[in-house]
Chain A
Amino acid sequence: MRFILRRFVFYVIAFWAAITLNFLLPRLMPGSPLDGLILRYGSAIQNNPELIAQLKASLGSADEPIWHAYPVYLHNVLTGNLGMSTAQQVPVTEIIRNTLPWSIFLVGCGFILSFVLGTFLGMLAAWRRGGITDRVGTPGLMALQSFPAFFLSLVAVYFLGLKLGWFPIQHAYSNDTNPGYTWGFVADAFRHAQLPILVILAISVGGWLLGMRNVMITTVQEDYVTVAHAKGLKDRKVMTGYAARNAILPPLTGFAAFFASAVGGLILVEVVFSYPGVGLTIQQAALGHDYPLVQALLLVFAFCVLLANFIMDCVYVLLDPRVRSS
């Protein structure tokens, strides 16, 4: 319990740091982002004093000292008041509500598939060192991992989508279907998510494989594995129940690293596939200098990553009795 509490306090501090960073960034940059916005959007902003006041609060202005603006900003963020998108003139929270589920769907499926597949292949590779999985799978998937996400996506779109026509190549659902919880729509959404998920799977499965393999190589040399063999247990039983069971925990600590890179991959995959998640939205918003949306999305990313890490810490405690007792 103390472990969980310690982690929780850390994530709260980390999130506070992310908010503060978000607050300081526009104020530290050369020039005034607000002036840039007024130049860009002109009358749309100037005729709207409410919007100007709100932009000043989040971007900073010369007439308000930083120690005055900071508490206001903190209060705004914590009460969910993230402002209006300058480009779309709708509340930022509404945009997030529409886009975040798509991204969670992609990353969730990608994570589960890559963890299951990578751990399984890593187990096989370590069990038969120099066997077919180890000789072909390990370097093969490692090589696949070194292809950047955007390049893999482009290759997938071109060869699997455009040339072979196996997958739809754009958007999250067909234009002629109506979003809603109908069978047709859900099936269509799954169909459109297949290729993006495949790309996320391809870039992340190698990491799990290597992590599992390297830990399991040491566990297969442990005494209890020898004992299990000596008891005359079946090879497969020793592999899954003894060696793999004890090797599966350490790679899980690599989850933070996986998730951080998966978020990067997600942005690139969404951009290539024009998939309407938070990744595509942050790129569009940043290119269009839609600062309220950009700032809010950075917080969303930070929050999701922190939350995922915290959930993983809890899972770890459930799986590993040693952490629980210490």
Chain B
Amino acid sequence: MGEVSQTAPAGVTSMSAPRRRRLVVPESVRLLMQNRMSAFGIVLLGAIVTVTVLAPWLTSQSPSVPNSLPGQPPSWTDPLGTTDQGFSVFSQVIHGGRISLVVAVTATLIAMVIAITLGLLAAYSGGIVDDAINLVTNIFLVIPTLPLVIVISSFLSQTGPWIMALIIGFTSWAIEARILRGQALSLQGRDFIQAAKVTGESTFRIIFFELMPNMLSRIAAGFAFVFIQAVFYEAALEFLGFGDANKISWGTTLFWATNNSTLLQGEWWHFLFPGLAISLTILAIVFINYGIDELGDPRLRQTGPRKPNVLKRVFWPRSAT
């Protein structure tokens, strides 16, 4: 233990962490945990990720082997019921999170890399590069995403998880590119950027090593925002039948739940639980995002009833007390 702590935290101590902690929680996460809404989101997201990662150890039933009676409501043996092919819904939901979350995270990474590169490049270069990138961004903003994604998937003969991550990533970067460009514009007149320019640093270096580190909080917020979109589009595509229906994920479980008109036969457990899993994941990020917003904008932070009695105190001092 002693040896590790002497070598490893060298970078940490230089980043001004006066008290030594065994587990270094980043300042931002600590701030978010103090906000009730984002703390709830972080705990919820942590629970979802933990359950999906530990899925094989949490249930002995395979999600893709029918080993119960079909169409059974929730019971002790099948806590969330069974599908009309006899798969365990519980097993499908906790295993399905793996593909859903991995696709969403991959798509988010792709979208954010595009958004950061284009947004910062536009802001830093200015002139015709800025105009061109701005035009492309605005066009992608107004072309509706879901129809576009549907059309692309229909041209591809098979849409596996990785292809899907690519498609979603390449279609959902525009909003963040615009926001990051706006923020980079306000940064790029600062002295340290001018200094870097004068010393002859390359555009690539200035964008990724000077500008980007100063925008990490906004990038984190953008990550959360795009991730919500990605979870939604992944599930929507699979639900609409454009995914690989043999791979188990939340979206495909939903697809099967409606495809065989099990809904009309009253099998509510088949659609309710995968749907709740998707919704709770999105909800967790929404709450984290709400906390990020309040941290960034102090005006939203102060709560409690509005005080119109400031005026009363001025004009009718006695009645105010």
A and B bound?
Answer: yes
Closest to A158 in B: B268
Contact B236 A148 (CB under 8 A): yes
Binds A, one of B77-85, B199-207, B212-220, B270-278: B270-278
A178 smallest CB distance to B (angstroms)? 26
- A93: chain B residues at CB < 8 Å are none
Contact A150 B139 (CB under 8 A): no
Contacts A229-B308, A297-B147: A256 and B283 contacting too (C-beta < 8 A)?
A: no
| Count of chain A residues near B, Cβ 8 A | 68
What 1/0 flags go to A85-99 for Cβ under 8 Å of B?
000000000000000
Closest to B233 in A: A264
What 1/0 flags go to A251-273 for Cβ under 8 Å of B?
00000110010011001100110
Binds A, one of B8-16, B56-64, B65-73, B151-159: B151-159
A69 smallest CB distance to B (angstroms)? 17
B305 CB–A CB distance under 8 Å: yes
A160 CB–B CB distance under 8 Å: no
Contact of B147 among A29, A151, A298 (CB under 8 A): A298
- B268: chain A residues at CB < 8 Å are 158
Contact B311 A230 (CB under 8 A): yes
What 1/0 flags go to A224-237 for Cβ under 8 Å of B?
00100110000100
Contact B315 A305 (CB under 8 A): no
A26 CB–B CB distance under 8 Å: yes
B168 CB–A CB distance under 8 Å: no
B interface secondary structure, majority: helix
A271 smallest CB distance to B (angstroms)? 6
In the assembled complex, the Cα of A139 lies from the Cα of B291 at a distance in Å of 12
Contact of A226 among B145, B148, B271, B311 (CB under 8 A): B311
What 1/0 flags go to B235-247 for Cβ under 8 Å of A?
1100111100000
- B223: chain A residues at CB < 8 Å are none
- A201: chain B residues at CB < 8 Å are none
In the assembled complex, the Cα of A222 lies from the Cα of B271 at a distance in Å of 48
Closest to B175 in A: A257
Contact A29 B155 (CB under 8 A): yes
What 1/0 flags go to A285-305 for Cβ under 8 Å of B?
111010100110110011001
Contact B138 A150 (CB under 8 A): no
- B151: chain A residues at CB < 8 Å are 22, 25, 282, 286, 294-295, 298
Shortest 4 CB-CB contacts between residues of A and residues of B: A286-B154, A264-B146, A151-B275, A146-B282
Residues of A within 8 A of B (CB): 10-11, 13-14, 17-18, 21-22, 25-26, 29-31, 33, 36, 127-131, 139, 142-143, 145-151, 154-155, 157-158, 162, 214, 217-218, 220, 226, 229-230, 235, 256-257, 260, 263-264, 267-268, 271-272, 282-283, 285-287, 289, 291, 294-295, 297-298, 301-302, 305-306, 309
Residues of B within 8 A of A (CB): 37, 135, 138-139, 141-148, 150-157, 175, 228, 232, 235-236, 239-242, 254, 257-258, 263-264, 266, 268, 271-272, 275-276, 278-279, 282-283, 286, 290, 299-300, 302-306, 308, 311, 315
